[in-house]
C-alpha cells in the first residue's frame, strides 16, 4: 500500500493514539500549516486505501489505523532498498558513510548490530 509523505504524517498521529476524531487529528497537525480541509482530504484518502477505519459517534467520526507502523516501515524500507540499492543493505550504508559523516555513535551502533546479527547466525 502506497502512503504519501503527507498521509504518513496523519498516520503518525493515529499511531501515537487512536481512535482520534478529525478535530483531534487537525489539532495534532497544527504545526504542519495545513488547512482543515487538507487534513480531512488526507483522512479520506487513507480511508479509501484501507489504511484507516472510521467509526461514527453521534456527529463525529473517530479514526484508527488499520496497518501497524512496524509493517509500514518494513514495506517502505524494502521498497527503498529495492528501488535504490538493488535490495542490498551494504550499498545503502556505504552511501550514507560517503555522503554524510557518520558519528562515532552511529558507527558503534552499526558494529553492535552486526555483532548481534553474527551471533544470531552461529
CA 81 to each of CA 5, 8, 36, 38: distance values in angstroms, whole numbers, following the listed order: 17, 19, 35, 31
Helical segments of 1-87, H only: 5-16, 22-28, 36-49, 69-85
Question: Which set of grid coordinates corresponds to residue 50?
Answer: 484501507
Overall pTM surpassing 0.85 (yes/no) = no
pLDDT of the chain along its 122 residues, tens only?
889 999 999 999 999 999 999 999 999 999 999 999 999 999 999 999 999 999 999 999 999 999 999 999 999 999 989 999 998 888 888 888 887 777 889 889 989 998 888 887 76
Domains for the chain: give ranges and CATH numbers: 5-65 (1.10.10.10), 69-121 (1.10.4040)
> In the sheet that 52-57 helps form, which strands lie side by side, from edge to edge?
20-21, 60-65, 52-57
- Describe the chain by its helix, strand, coil percentages, rounded to 5: 65, 10, 20
Amino acid at each position: 500500500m502506497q502512503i504519501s509523505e503527507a498521509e504518513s504524517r496523519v498516520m503518525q498521529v493515529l499511531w501515537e493514539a487512536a481512535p482520534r476524531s478529525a478535530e483531534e487529528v487537525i489539532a495534532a497537525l497544527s504545526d504542519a500549516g495545513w488547512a482543515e480541509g487538507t487534513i480531512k482530504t488526507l483522512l479520506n484518502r487513507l480511508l479509501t486505501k484501507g489504511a484507516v477505519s472510521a467509526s461514527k459517534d453521534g456527529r463525529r467520526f473517530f479514526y484508527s489505523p488499520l496497518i501497524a507502523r512496524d509493517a509500514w516501515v518494513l514495506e517502505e524500507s524494502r521498497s527503498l532498498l529495492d528501488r535504490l540499492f538493488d535490495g542490498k543493505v551494504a550499498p545503502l550504508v556505504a552511501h550514507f558513510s560517503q555522503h554524510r559523516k557518520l558519528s562515532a555513535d552511529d558507527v558503534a551502533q552499526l558494529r553492535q548490530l552486526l555483532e548481534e546479527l553474527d551471533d544470531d547466525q552461529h
